[in-house]
Amino acid sequence: MLATALALTNVPVVAALISGLIAVVRRPEPRLTSGLQHFAAGVVFSAAAVELLPAVLKRSPIVAILGFAVG
C-alpha cells in the first residue's frame, strides 16, 4: 500500500520538476501564464463546489448563495 502511494505521488513530483526546469530554460509567455492561472483557479473552484457545496446547501442555502456571490 505504501509503495503504491509513493509511486503515485512520484507522477506529480516528476511533472513539476520537469515543467520547472523547462520554465527556467524558456520563460513562458504572459498569455500562457494567465491561461494556466485561470485553469488552476477553475480547478480549485470546482473542487470546492463539489466537496463543500452539498454540505453547505443542506445546512443553510442562503449562506452558500451569498458566499459564492461575494466570492
pLDDT score at 42? 94
Amino acid at 21: L
pLDDT score at 54? 84
pLDDT score at 50? 85
Q: How far apart are the first and last CA of the chain?
A: 39
Cα distances (angstroms) measured from residue 57 to each of 7, 14, 49, 66? 37, 38, 11, 11
Statement: the pTM of the whole predicted model exceeds 0.75:
no
Grid coordinates representing 60 are 443553510
Grid coordinates representing 13 are 513530483
Domain spans in the chain, listed from the N-terminal domain onward: 2-70
Grid coordinates representing 23 are 520554465
